[in-house]
Amino acid sequence: MNFDLMDTPTLQAVATADERALVQDLEERVEEAFKQAGQQPDVADADARKEAAEANLENLRAAARALNNQGKTLREEIAAATEAALDKLIRSASKGEPDFGNSVLVTTLEHKDRLVSRALERLVEHLTPLAEIAQLRSQAHAFAARGRALERIAHERAERVLSQLREAVSEEMVLPVDMSKGVAGAVLARAGEIKRRSIETSANADRLEQWYMDKYRKGGAQA
């Protein structure tokens, strides 16, 4: 290593002079830290809760789609059954004996249609918004847990690096080290990004919950 200490009092040591390879290696190590964080118990538990909340929300949306399709089918069946009942009633009445037999089918179909409408109302007005709030809360918690895990990993990595520098520090007495440019700094930056996403997601959950409370709870509606 050739340098003039008078011209270059601040030194920077790098693993390779190839900047592209350096960036790629840095990104790979940050990704490794990200995966390592996901294996920690608190992060794995938070991710599992998030996945369960997402699955519940998707199930409710699937139910809404199925009920919408069922409602459309029932309305078509009601129209056809009503027409058939009217035709039969008119024909039987012309013979002096009005027959209301087909009206039972119409009544049954209309009852099913009302149940479908009530189920959709509950889904749209209560169950789905509450599930969306729960999903956002669980996602925010998962972000926060992973962010904290990445911070721990970054600090542990920094401690290992500093322990390896103790000999050089004892030689030079003072040895400034900028950890922000290395793997530990990059991992810490990723942690900060994820924690910001946690805050944003939590704020979105707060807004949705406030909207729900304002629209339904104050009016006495129940889920």
- pLDDT tens across 186-223, in order? 899 999 999 999 999 999 999 999 999 998 876 555 55
Residue with tokens 């409710």: 60
Spans of the chain, pLDDT less than 70: 1-19, 22, 164-179, 218-223
- Exposed / middle / buried, residue 74 (Cβ in 10 Å: 0-12, 13-18, 19+): buried
Q: How many Å apart are CA 215 and CA 209, to the nearest integer? A: 10
| Cα–Cα–Cα angle for 39, 41, 43, rounded to 5 degrees | 70
Residue pair 149/56 in contact (Cβ under 8 Å)? The answer is no
Residue pair 135/54 in contact (Cβ under 8 Å)? The answer is yes
So where are the chain's domains? 22-214
pTM: 0.78
Measured in degrees and rounded to the nearest 5, phi and psi for residue 39 equal -85, -10
pLDDT digits (tens, 9 = 90+) for 25-39: 778 889 999 999 999
pLDDT for the residue numbered 117: 97
Q: How many Å apart are CA 181 and CA 168, to the nearest integer? A: 19
Q: How many Å apart are CA 68 and CA 81, to the nearest integer? A: 20
